[in-house]
Structures are given as C-alpha cells and as structure tokens.
Structure 1
Amino acid sequence: MAVLTKPSLEQVSLPTPPHRPRSYFSGLPVVDLSVTDSDALLVNACEEFGFFKVTNHGVPKELIARLEEEAIKFFSLSQMEKERYGPANPFGYGSRTIGGNGDVGWLEYLLLEINSESISHSSLDFLKEPRARSFCSALNEYVESMRKLASEVLELMAKGLRIEPRNIFSKVVMDEESDSVLRLNHYPPCPLLQGLNGSMTGLGEHTDPQLISVLRSNNTSGLEISLRDGTWVSVLPDAESFFINVGDSLQVLTNGRFRSVKHRVAANGYESRVSMVYFGGPPSGERLAPLPLLLGEGEQSMYREFTWCEYKRCAYKSRLSDNRLQQFEM
C-alpha cells in the first residue's frame, strides 16, 4: 500500500511522551461482529478499556483502500497548495497546530463536516473542484459505511446493557442533525529521528468528546492507549479491522460505566501513518445526562445535565490533555 515518503511539515522538535511502550499490548479485546452473542464481550471491553477492535465489519476493503488513496493524493500536494484550504470554523486542512490553545503535533490533517449522510462541501473548498470528484465519491461512501457501523456497534452496546429501545444510543448519532465529523490524518516520517531509535508526539494524549469514534489506519504503528492504572500500551496496527473508542458523551450517558479512553499517537523517523477517524456526535441541542435506565437503586448521577453545544464549546477552549468532563461532574 502506498505511503508518503517526503514529509512537508516544518522540521522542529516536538515533545516525546515519557515511558514510551516497547512492545504491543496483547490484551486488547477483539469483537467479531458476525457472532450473535458478541454484545457481552463488547460491553466488557467498554467497561475495562473503553477501546476494542472489531472484525467482520462488512465495510468493503476496496472502499477503504480507495479513500486512503485519495487522502494520500491530497497530502502529496505541495504545502503551499494544501495551505490554501486551511482550517475555518474549524474545518479544512491543518498541520502541526491542533486547536487554538497551544497543542502541536507531528501531523497534518483534514477535518471534514458531515452534513446529514454525506460530507459537507463547505468543509473544504477543494471538494468543490472538478479534480476532487473521485475524492468526494469515496468520502461519501465511506461516511455512509461508518454511520452504519457506528449504529450497529451502539445497538450492540444497548443490547449488552439490556436496555430498550435498542437504538437508544444509535438514534443520537443517526439523527439528521447529528454533529459528526470525519478526520483524515497523516503522520509523516520525521527526519530528525532517522538513525535514532525513538519517536515523536504525533498527536498528544486526549479523549474524544463524541459518543463513539471509529478508527482505521494503515499498517504503521503509533497508536497508544492508557489503561486504568495509567500505564500506556502500544496498539498493534491492523489495516483490515476497525478500532472503536468510547467517547466522553457515552461515558456520561452510561454514568461512567463505559470508559472514555485516553489515547495518543507517536510519529517515527521512517514510516508514514495514515488514519481515517469517524466521530459520531449528537445534535447540537441534545441534552446529555446519565440514562435513568442505567442507574441502580440509590445510585446517584455522576454528571449534571448539559447540552452537546455546551460541551463542544468547553472542548474548544481546552487543551488536548484536559479533563473536560470535570466541570460537569456533580
């Protein structure tokens, strides 16, 4: 599979997280979506890790490869041309700077708004150009597949929790007004690390604000997650599968039963990493609070009620590593 070999990012030193894992984590849950009783394993994974891998997901390999190829074509453009499509509100192309609060990383990315069931052309002027027709087609087919996969996983979560209706989580993401986005990331090889057995921060530690994140990457390593005891472990890449993150919003809805996983990405000196992440978010006015169905007798809500719009404003004002949910705790 093709990868980019010529990094275009400014060559500056970025912080390397301490205690870099030296081997891959062997205890990551794997959920086979073709198995009828996979919901119990899925719930256990959400409670223990907030992160798991899904196989037999039904997303065509050809579609995944096509979108990755289109993303590589875009990231292969000259830096000057890519910067014509710089971030605005906050969609579009970005490099190194992550948000407006001082976070940086060794990466470049496209952040694209999803309008109903397709990518909104307002996210990026490049998508309005004739040369981007095949890119748009691949993006929209991929988004449709991600919405279906996210919905299937969320309904399995509800089944495993034994709550009704089964679409209690998925309807929030499938709503026509849902605030979902797609992010394409490129972590180029860092020349400063060549010849060294080291790595550099590609994307700093953080949790995802939405309900669910569906991640696919090429076969380059770099993704790391934090376990409950604070230990960081490296995730073995698998280009054939998808990785699922529990987000902050789902942690709230389950009153902390499901864990919003803290994760980060390391870049390296020789290999290019390309990832595609679908973030399934609620509508702007959706009110978020622990579901009464999941509160046991005498159990108190850990979070006060707030809207997704309130939480998103909080997220935009924070640093990546901040605990954004803290100010909404009871």
Structure 2
Amino acid sequence: MHPQPPDPFEVPTIDISPYVTAGPDSERARVARQVDDACRRVGFIQIVGHGIPGEVVGGLTGAMDDFFGLPLDDKKSYRVEGANRGYSPPKSESLSLSLGVESATRMNDFFEAFNVGVEARSFPELDLSESDYGINLWPGVEGFEPRVQRYFGEASRVARTLTRIFADALGQNPDFFDTLTDHSIDVLRMNNYALPEGTVTLDGDLTGMGEHTDFGIVTVLWADNVAGLQVLGGDGVWHDVAPREGALLVNLGDLTARLTNDRWRSTLHRVKPPIVDGTIARRRSAALFHDGNVDAVVATLPGFVDAGEDAYEPITIRDHIKAKLAGSRHGKANTAAVREAARVLAAAGNTVVP
C-alpha cells in the first residue's frame, strides 16, 4: 500500500465578518471551526470581512511612501536606540538570530522599517514602564501620524476580534485573552524592501527578512501583492504566499503556540524578494503585532499536553520578547528557541510556488 502524499500547501481564506458584525451564533461557530483547522494545519490565514476601509489602507501606504522616500540620512535621524520604536536602516537586523540560528547573511536583512506602538502612558491607572513599551518618535512628514494612527486603531481592532475567535476555537471563555492583552504591547512595523537600482552584490544568500517566527499572540499583516513572503510548510519546504485582493494575512506568534503546546502553529516565515536583471522589485508591508501584556505569564493550557509530551515552561511575555529582540536587534542568539530553531535547520531549503 503506497503512503498518501501530504496535503497540498494552502493558506485558507476565512471570512470573519460574523464576528465583526455580531452575526448569528451558528455562523460564528463555523468561523471558529475554520480558524481552528487553519491554525492546526498552517498557522497562516487569509482573512476577508475584516472591516478595514480601503481609504484607511490607502492612507497608511501613502504615509509609508512619504517617509521611506526621504533621504537616508533624514530617516536615520529617527532611530531610537534600545527600543522597538522608530527607524531601522537596511542591514541593521538579523531575524534568524531571534531563533538562535546563525544565518549566512547575519545582519544582512536588507529591509528598512519604521515602528510605532502602544506606550505605557496609555494606561495611566497601571504602574508600567516605558522601558517595556517605548515612546513613539513621529517623523516630521505631513499627515504621517494621523494616517498611521488610524490604520493602527483598525488593525488593533482586527487583532482583538481574532483573539475572540481564538477563545471560541480553543474552547475557552469568551474573555480568556482579555487577561493577557488588556494592556498589550501592540506594535505596528512598516517595512520597505528596496535597494537602489543596480546589481545586487551581497555576501551569502540574499535575504529581505530572515527566517523567523513572530514573537507574540497574533500578527495582522497588510502587504503588497508582490512575491517575496515565504512560509515553511509541514512538508519542510518554503512556499510562496501573497495576499488575496482585499485580504489581510494573519499568522500566529510564539505565545499562542506555547498556550496550545504547538497544537496551533507559530509558523516560520521569511522574505526572499525576486531579483530581475540584478534589481529587486520593491515590496511594502505593515505588520501589527499583538504581543500581549508585558507582565502576563503564558503557560500551556490544561488539556493541551498529551501523555508523554513535554509542556512549554511558563514564561512572562516581557522575558520572551526580550530574548527575541536581543537576537534580531543586537545579534545575540536566542538559546531558548529550541523547537523553532530545529524546524529551520530541518527545512529542505527549496521553494514551491503555488
């Protein structure tokens, strides 16, 4: 009897509008079942029915174009040392080190980025430190802040809608994630993948953004419909993924994998931009990271550890994110990411184009 071939890789498309518009219970239950299946098999979802108006997305992309179009020296004036805020120049980060994996292109991720996020002072009733959050540094670009803030608010709403779906899909109380996210470190990272026109000459394999898993609970990603994003499938092969028209890409972070003891996947992904005649096609993306409360402890949920399995050790979100950022920003390999690193090293290294 011949073994069955693995299921073809596909990122499912799910309409989450029953949760956005308070649809009937039966429709919400259907969505929760679809999300559970996608999170078990893939860890990535294309979501439609999210309710973010097109003009809000257009405002975001216009703000990104205005900022990234500035001269490099001007952009560098918005660097914020020691905080996950402000500008990151090209080749200043290495995402693979957030997993403890030494990439051939260490500190060679050529994307540039600008980060904004929630600040500790947003929660005056709590004794929080800005060292865990960070103060936003807004560039002096006309209309940048209001355009980005409007999208940030919408994407944060979508992230919280998703955690409400997650609670249902995992059989938890509807407010389960509230205790983990009511003062969440939410960060919006706007990315620009581009190099000056001309021949690309980099040591090692060209990397837009190295292989990594996301740090927190869930990520909501807007991206250009340009090739580049690759997801590591269960077959050990890197697959190209592009957003559908009007859709957002959603993927799980490490903390959700910890909650479910990897029942739900925190899927490895990377960006490998296309090179045509020695030049790179420009690609933009904006990722809203819904990372959770800095002081919350994440432990595997009861009922998600089968006989003979080891559960993840409980960890505070502060310590988890600190170790991941020490890798990506400061070149210190994250020795705690044992399971994720093993998946990178076992990957086949070739890519399948859908």
Alpha-carbon separation, structure 1, partners of 2:268 and 2:60? 27
Shift of 1:65: 0.7
1:217 correspondence with 2:236: no
Q: Which residue of 1 aligns with 2:145?
A: 136
Shift of 1:99: 5.8
Alpha-carbon separation, structure 2, partners of 1:29 and 1:327? 25
Alpha-carbon separation, structure 2, partners of 1:297 and 1:94? 42
String of CA shifts for 1:35-67, please: whole Å, max 9, x gaps: 521111111111111111101110111000111
1:72 correspondence with 2:71: no
Checking the alignment, whether the CA contact within 8 Å between 1:99 and 1:316 is kept in structure 2 is no
1:98 correspondence with 2:93: yes
Count of paired positions: 291
Match of 2:288 among 278, 284, 303: 278
Q: Percent identity?
A: 24
Shift of 1:85: 0.8
1:325 correspondence with 2:325: no
Q: Which residue of 2 aligns with 1:49?
A: 42
Q: Which residue of 2 aligns with 1:21?
A: none
Checking the alignment, whether the CA contact within 8 Å between 1:218 and 1:237 is kept in structure 2 is yes
Q: TM-score, with normalisation over the residues of structure 2?
A: 0.74
DSSP-derived class of the 2:76 partner: helix
**Structure 2, unpaired ranges of 5+:** 1-7, 19-26, 98-105, 124-132, 341-354
Alpha-carbon separation, structure 2, partners of 1:149 and 1:72? 24
Alignment of 1:1-330 (within 5 A): 27-34=10-17, 36=27, 37-90=30-83, 91-95=85-89, 96-98=91-93, 102-115=106-119, 122-126=135-139, 129=140, 131-132=141-142, 134-163=143-172, 165-173=173-181, 175-176=182-183, 178-189=184-195, 191-192=197-198, 200-238=206-244, 240-268=246-274, 269-292=279-302, 294-295=303-304, 302-318=311-327, 324-326=336-338
> CA 1:296–1:203 in 2, change beyond 3 Å: closer, same or farther?
closer
Alpha-carbon separation, structure 1, partners of 2:35 and 2:41? 10
Shift of 1:326: 2.7
Q: Which residue of 2 aligns with 1:8?
A: none
Checking the alignment, whether the CA contact within 8 Å between 1:202 and 1:265 is kept in structure 2 is yes
Alpha-carbon separation, structure 2, partners of 1:230 and 1:140? 38
Alpha-carbon separation, structure 1, partners of 2:313 and 2:227? 38
**Structure 1, unpaired ranges of 5+:** 1-24
Checking the alignment, whether the CA contact within 8 Å between 2:94 and 2:210 is kept in structure 1 is no
Alpha-carbon separation, structure 2, partners of 1:73 and 1:98? 23
